[in-house]
Chain A
Amino acid sequence: MTPEELENVASEQKQTQAKYRYSLNVCMAAGCLSQKSDQVKEALEKEVERQGRQHECAVKGVGCLGLCAAGPLVAVEQPAADAAGAAVGERGMPRLLYKAVTAADAADIVAALDGPPVQRIQYPTSAPFFIRQKKIVLENSGFIDPERLEEYLAAGGYESLLKVLTQMTPQEVVAEISQSGLRGRGGGGFPTGLKWGTVAKARGGQKYVICNADEGDPGAFMDRSVLESDPHRVLEGMAIAGYAVGASTGYIYVRAEYPLAVKRLKAAIRQAERAGLLGANIFGTTFSFGIEIRLGAGAFVCGEETALIASIEGRRGQPRPRPPYPAEYGLWGCPTLINNVETFANVPPIIRNGAGWFASIGTEKSKGTKVFALAGKVVNTGLIEVPMGMTLRQIIFEIGGGTPPGTKFKAVQTGGPSGGCIPEEHLDVPVDYESLAALGSIMGSGGMIVMDDTSDMVDVAKFFMDFCMTESCGKCTPCRAGTAQMYELLDRIGKGRATAADLALLEDLCDMVKHTSLCGLGMTAPNPVLSTLRYFRHEYERKLVKEEGGNGSSHAKAEVRG
């Protein structure tokens, strides 16, 4: 594809879209699909035809609309009005949204296109859930059909790739990413530009780019939604990274449990290859870049970069000690850049809008936005994107709508099994890498589980320890045997059979496993225990056998008798 062709396809698609006064966007991401949104789409298509409006009303499947709790979701957009410049509000917000739509609602929805909306299923788009969000990564999510390249192109897709290939040197790209302040969205928060620069400077003819899509935290579905809703964005980000670091091959390591994401990724790669947006001599330049998919078998530890690389190489997914880091010695011994899905998804908008624009969003040390998967005891479960620096309270109570009526908020768990629980009194801290770490949790990849007062904190810690124990690869002693010991101790505490000495041993083990484990899995496995001990110690102590009291009193009696 030449730059002119890119522009032609994009403008043709825009014209096609502008022909329609209305567009019914049906969410076809995993959450709504599981509630039969495909049947809703079918019913809407039939209904549009039956009411003879197929020339002015399009029905299309789109990616995640965010409010998973109220699915299946249907958004009503007005492409013709948008094309004429009548766009209201910020991009990323639906114009009109219907919630919990069934096939039976189709007739009413189509009939109400010109008049007032169907009130019984309308969800107000002026709700805080929508207006408090800021969409960068998810800007296309819910608006474009993830299975059609043309729609991504019409939304400005691959323009950033064209820009870097024709107007920028690799060094300039690295500098741009560095200046943007983007940090790794997989959870570590390592400065992305620095990583790119290291790989770019590494010696070696062959280099690789890897996209880590092995999202494994319980309750987290950010990467999955991005891949299901806007797969081309990730491919474009990877190609830009490939150009910046000098790599010609990319791998996407995605778990096989995400069949829809895999299907859409495969389709996207095929479309991009056919259009010449991936492959040899992209846009007629000397830059060539191909992307392959590798399916993971669902081991949590394969999200650790060295284990992921081992898995791609066909070996057992086990981490190895670093250094050397993959930037120096990665896939098949070659310098390798490995970033998370969301990190790559941030790249095209940074190139398009400039590092300064991105750096103006967020806090001093954490720039841009973060996608979170809100789950647990919260009214608006779903996928959200907020600027860094928003407080946890705003996220949970304004966007999330708080805990369901009749329940009381107790804690929020961020960072999955590597993170920690944050209680009510710390909800006013801004969400950024440093603040969450100071509270004993981590930013993590974006899982956010809200808990109400029915949650028992020892039980919560035990759940995550069970997860870490089962997912430990077994290579290093502290993680393999230590998590098993900690799990047994937590089990005993939970059953009211543990003593103060057991609690002391648990704390000793937390310290030891944290500092001696080989990889991040083991190093962070004690975090759920440590953070619940920090804020909810009384819940542990309440369950202990009163060993000392008992001994003390019997001892005293003996003395009296003596």
Chain B
Amino acid sequence: MSEQTVPVTLQIDGRDCSAHSGQTILQVARENGIDIPTLCFLEGLSGWGGCRLCLVEVKGVARLLPACVTRVAEGMEVTTSSPRLQKYRRMVLELLFAERNHICSVCVSNGVCELQDLAQRLGLTHVSMPYRYPRMPYDASHDLFRLDHNRCVLCTRCVRVCDEVEGAHTWDVMGRGIDSRVIIDLNDAWAGSESCTMCGKCVNVCPTGSLSRKGTGVAENEKRNEFLAYLRTMRGARQ
């Protein structure tokens, strides 16, 4: 698209910022210490523009634009935070919380979850929308990893990292609308996947507890005290 980038200046929240034309609004904002909440965005992956948390107002444009994929332009005037934007962002989070079963207290990612962090940061004190409580499946077939659809926010970071970085394209999305789900290969169990390289990139980019390493969940912290009997026997034998 952009063969050659040119320096541009723009205003973000009233501050003059310099940038080059290939940069996104989000990049320039972050360079200048202006924080815009994001969820599906992850540095190093292609832009997706799906979660709609990073929407910003641009003067002269009727629509709200996603900062993560919108390129800066000369003279642009961007507003990253307004009562309207904050309301919409909180509603996006509410929609996500109500969409599936995000129960923090029993989640492996409690305390290290980007969705939880965002809710706290944006001051989401309660969810006003009715919870949908869908019955979602769970795949614990793999030796190392787990997939819990209850916690998935469909950010597709796993899909993108697997395709763009690992090159395996094990992940994809099936179904549409509210029935969308991330799948492994052709909707197979993770354990038998021939394309999965077990690199664990998907687990590490997942913002919630949807993808996790085994052994980190409730009731998985098994103690192994067999060593004591073993040591005693060995030491006894030496004496």
Residue-wise, chain A 40-75 has the 8 Å CB interface mask toward B (1 for contact) of 000000000000000000000000000000000000
Q: Which of B130, B154, B179 lies in contact with A488, CB distance below 8 A?
A: B130
Q: In the docked arrangement, what's the CA distance between A301 and B180, Å?
A: 14
Q: Please, how many angstroms separate the alpha-carbon atoms of A512 and B92 in the complex?
A: 9
Residue of A nearest to B95 (CB): A481
| Chain A residues positioned under 8 Å from B50 (CB to CB) | 475-477, 518
CA distance A508 to B95 in the complex (A): 12
Across the interface, name the chain A residue whose C-beta is closest to B99: A481
Which A residues lie within 8 Å of B130 (CB)?
485, 488
The yes or no answer to B126 lying at the interface (CB within 8 A) is no
Identify which of residues 49-69 in chain B touch chain A, using a CB-to-CB cut-off of 8 Å.
49-52, 55, 63-66, 69
B173 in contact (CB, < 8 A) = yes
Q: Which of A299, A301, A473, A478 has a CB less than 8 Å from the CB of B92?
A: A478
A516 touches B64 (CB 8 A): yes
* Complex CA distance for A333 and B3, rounded to whole angstroms: 13
Partner of A477, one of B63, B64, B96, B132: B96
Using known A-B contacts A485-B130, A488-B130, determine if residue A480 contacts B88 with beta carbons closer than 8 Å: no
Contact with B along A237-258 (1 / 0, CB 8 A): 0000000000000000000000
Q: Does A546 contact B (CB under 8 A)?
A: no
User: Which A residues are in CB contact (< 8 Å) with B178?
Assistant: 469, 472, 474, 480-481, 483-484
Majority-rule SS of A interface residues:
helix
Closest B residue to A484 by CB, please name it: B178
Q: A469 and B177: CB pair below 8 A?
A: yes
Query: Is there a chain A Cβ closer than 8 Å to B122's Cβ?
Result: no
- Per a CB cutoff under 8 Å, which of A321, A482, A516 touches B69? A321
- Chain B residue numbers with a CB within 8 Å of A329 are 1
Is the beta-carbon distance between B49 and A480 smaller than 8 angstroms? no
A492 and B172 CA atoms in complex are apart in Å by 34
Is A477's CB under 8 angstroms from B51's CB? yes
- Point out the residues of chain B lying under 8 angstroms from A299, CB to CB: 176
Contacts of A340 in B (CB 8 A): none
B45 contacts A by Cβ under 8 Å: no
Q: Which residue of A lies closest to B69 (CB)?
A: A321
Whole-angstrom distance between the Cβ of A58 and the nearest chain B Cβ: 48
Encode A456-495 as 1/0 by CB contact (under 8 A) with B. Answer: 0000000000000111111111111111110010000000
- B84-120: which have CB < 8 Å to A? 87-88, 91-92, 95-96, 98-99
User: How many residues of chain B have a CB within 8 Å of chain A?
Assistant: 37
Instruction: Given A321-B70, A516-B88, verify A471-B176 contact (CB < 8 Å).
Output: yes
Query: Which of B70, B88, B129 is packed against the most chain A CB atoms within 10 Å?
Result: B129
Return chain B residues, CB-CB under 8 Å to A515. Answer: 63-64, 88
Instruction: Select from chain A the residue with minimum beta-carbon distance to B2.
Output: A324
Q: Is B137 an interface residue (CB 8 A)?
A: no
Is B51 touching A484 in the complex (CB atoms < 8 A)?
no
B63 to chain A, nearest CB (A): 8
Q: Which of B1, B65, B96, B154 touches A324 (beta carbons < 8 Å)? A: B1
Task: Please give, as numbers and ranges, the residues of chain A lying within 8 Å of B88 by CB-CB distance.
Answer: 512, 515-516
Taking a contact as CB atoms under 8 Å apart, the answer to whether B132 and A480 are in contact is no
Minimum CB–CB distance from A525 to chain B (whole Å) comes to: 11
Is there contact, CB below 8 Å, between B49 and A474? no
Which of A324, A483, A515 has the most chain B CB atoms inside 10 A of its CB? A515
Whether, in the assembled complex, B128 has its beta carbon less than 8 Å from a beta carbon of chain A, the answer is: yes
Q: Would you call A176 an interface residue if the criterion is a C-beta within 8 Å of the partner chain's C-beta atoms? A: no
B133: min CB distance to chain A, Å: 11
- CA A385 – CA B94 in complex, angstroms? 46
Min CB gap A478→B, angstroms: 6
Known contacts A480-B154, A508-B91: A474-B177 contact under CB 8 Å = yes
Q: A474-B179, A480-B177, A518-B50 are in contact. Are A512 and B91 (CB under 8 A)?
A: yes
**Cβ–Cβ < 8 Å partners of B33 in chain A:** none
**Quick check: is B44 within 8 A (CB to CB) of the other chain?**
no
- Are B49 and A476 in contact (CB-based, < 8 A)? yes
B95 CB contacts on chain A under 8 angstroms: 477-478, 481-482, 485
Closest 9 CB pairs of A and B: A474-B180, A472-B177, A481-B95, A321-B49, A484-B178, A481-B99, A475-B50, A512-B91, A516-B52
Can you give 29 contacting A-B residue pairs, CB < 8 Å? Answer: A299-B176, A316-B173, A320-B49, A321-B49, A321-B65, A321-B70, A329-B1, A469-B178, A473-B176, A473-B177, A474-B173, A474-B176, A474-B177, A475-B48, A475-B50, A476-B50, A476-B51, A478-B92, A479-B177, A480-B99, A480-B177, A488-B132, A505-B129, A509-B129, A515-B63, A516-B64, A516-B88, A516-B92, A518-B49
